Amino acid sequence: MDLKGKVVAITGGGGGIGRTASYSFSKYGADVVILELNEAAGKETADDINAKGGKALFIKTDVSSYESVRAAFDIIAEKYGRLDALYNNASVFLGGKDNNIADVEPDIWHKVIAINLDSIYYCSKCAIPLMKEKGGSIINTASSAAVVGVPGCAAYTATKGATAALTREMAVDFGKYNIRTNCIAPAAIQSEMVKESNLSDPEFDNEFFIRRLTPIGRWGKPNEVAELACFLASDEAAYLNGNVIRADGGITINGNVNK
């Protein structure tokens, strides 16, 4: 893949899958803009990329705040004058606090909605004007929770189902500008979020996933999601629009989970 000359913004680009994606996009030649609330993590990632000969810019950004997002994209517009790809990667799972719809508290509900869903609205709203002239790629992040029922996480599930639906709507509305919108739905990726989502499950370990859930028989790796995001941002994916791609090793189609 060749991403040379492309400007790519990544939300949550300082940690987890986002950090891995920042390195992957840089590896393929993109100018990486890291939109990250954690200043130490965002700056460290950008500095490391630059030290290795890549090009990265860190902008401290609270993706749950429209004012913060708008200010970040003003910087992107001033520095680059365009944006070729937006990876809406930032997400949160509030393990132990999210719950079923009857028991989840309003403050948790609204916090998850703000980070996981409002951020896609804010960032896409600000990114699209920078893409309209030459086209671009928007990559949203859903989850297996967007396509199957996952108990005890109503707020998270609501945001991920909405992300998949919003991806299709955006693809229809902005395809005429050659702005392609696609969605990655990961599951069983070795990341901090997966650990947080299963803190109370005594059976949650590698053996549980390998034997009962994942037909491929192993955990997914952050770089396997990051590489998919790079592909969706590349010219090689020029005819992909409106897709929800499950990066889950086959978990969501596995009818053999009880054996």
**What residue spans define the domains of the chain?**
7-251
Alpha-carbon span 87 to 181, nearest angstrom: 10
Q: For the domain 7-251, what is the CATH code?
A: 3.40.50.720
Instruction: Write down the pLDDT at residue 193.
Output: 61
Two structure tokens written together for 78: 């001033």
d(CA 24, CA 245): 19
Query: What's the rounded Cα separation, in Å, for the pair 34 and 55?
Result: 11
Give the model's pLDDT for residue 255: 78
Q: How far apart are the first and last CA of the chain?
A: 40
- Residues acting as catalytic residues: 156
Coil, helix or strand for 24? Answer: helix
Q: Report how far residue 67's alpha carbon sits from residue 88's, in angstroms, rounded to the nearest whole number.
A: 17
Structure confidence at residue 171 (pLDDT): 98
Write down the H helix ranges in 132-182. 154-174
Please give the model's pTM, rounded to 2 decimal places.
0.94
Instruction: Give the pLDDT score at 145.
Output: 92
Spans of the chain, pLDDT less than 70: 192-211, 257-259
Q: Which among 255, 254, 258, 245 has a CA at the least distance from the CA of 216? A: 254
pLDDT at 96: 85
Tokens standing for residue 150: 């996952």
Contacts of residue 206, defined as CB under 8 A and 6 or more positions apart, other chains included, come to: 219
